Every structure is written in C-alpha cells, then in structure tokens.
Structure 1
C-alpha cells in the first residue's frame, strides 16, 4: 500500500455564481469560474502538483461555490461561500498547501488565509482505516 496520500481539490461545476444568479456576466456558472480561477493561479505559480477535478452538484446549493479538499490519509473538508475569483483561489490553494504539510489535516487556525475563514462546512475523517478522534 502506498504511503503517499492521494489529495485533490474538487470543485462543484454547477455551483451558482451567487445566491441570486446561476451564471455570471459571461454566462458561466460560478463553479466553472471557480475552476478556471484555481487553474489560473496554479498556472501563475507554475505548479502541476495539485490535482483539480470537478463534480456536478455537491448538494451545497445554498452556499456557492463549493470546493472540497479531499485526502485519503488526512481529514477532508467541504467549503462553501467561495467567490469565483483568483483571490479566493489563491486562499484555497494556500490553505490546501498548509493542509498537506500536516500529519492529520488539521491546520491551526492562525495559519488559515483570511479569505478561508468562515468557509468551512464539514470535515470527514481519512479513509485509511483508523479511528481518529
């Protein structure tokens, strides 16, 4: 069994642009815009180490845009109320990097980027078969 954690960001592709509007001024959903913003930040940072994927409707429609930080060895997190902007994407990636630097996926609050505060909805235990408190 591999000891390298499987990690990825999952972005809801069908998330609304805002609570009031499915699409933004350019006709794309908020989720599509969030995905593009994350990819743009990773490109600017010359990074290929972050796996980013999409999933249609994550049932978090009251809190668009939804982004999940998934990890098979550490806690995984569901976030919402993410604005589909590059600034928010930078905060998501910075938090995901801090998450990856931990053993258990619990990032000390003082290390959270300001734009990630108030966005966490749930955390799920890792799937590595151990009961963690």
Structure 2
C-alpha cells in the first residue's frame, strides 16, 4: 500500500513572494521529488495545509494508518523527511518506533490523527 507525503507548496516561511521565484514550500517539494525513493511513497503537492505560522509543512497519510503533520521544515531537512516518510511507509499502522524516527519527526510534529475506519 502506498503512503502519501503531502507537501505544502504555498508555504512562504515569512519570506516575501517574489514574482517568478518559487517560495520555500515549492522548493522543498521540488527537492523531495528529485530524490530517489521507494515505490511505496507518493509525494503530492498541495496548495495549503493551513499551518502557515509553522514554516514549511508536510503531512503523511495512508489508509488505515495514523496520519501526521510536521512543520518548521526547510530544504536542508529533505533527507530526514524522506527517511522518516520511508519508515512510515514501511509500517502497517503508521507508528514508527520513537528512536527510529528522524529528529525532526520527534521534535516538529504539529498533529497526529487516528486512522480512519475503512
């Protein structure tokens, strides 16, 4: 089953919008999609995750699993984001053991949502 990594492409991280220049959220999405990853992880751009005061924001979700929202992320976090998303995708329930999570997933979680009933 495929896990979905949603990346807010409108996150500005407080930066002004410069015509013709991608905002930080779009740059993070572009960087994440340029990296190799397992076929069990789909990266999806979204217009807004409504966590605008929390820097670049991502969400992880899969059917029957816990979902997570993480914030205060940067392009430098891309390797850890992918490592954490890959670990999430490998679980049957979305619960990655605490010590196996990247530091940013331990410290920068904004929300955790229970699995939706099928």
Return the TM-score normalized by structure 2: 0.85
Shift in Å, 1:22 = 3.9
Q: Is the 8 A contact 2:3 2:40 kept in 1?
A: no
Q: CA RMSD in A?
A: 2.0
| Largest Rg, 1 or 2 | 1
Distance in 2, Cα, partners of 1:11 & 1:34 = 8
Shift in Å, 1:100 = 2.1
Question: Partner of 1:93 in structure 2?
Answer: 82
Of 67, 77, 81, 2:72 maps to 81
Structure with bigger helix share is: 2
Distance in 1, Cα, partners of 2:55 & 2:6 = 13
Return the TM-score normalized by structure 1: 0.77
Structure with bigger strand share is: 2
Of 68, 72, 81, 2:63 maps to 72
Of 1, 8, 15, 1:12 maps to 8
Structure 2 unaligned residues grouped into runs of 5+: none
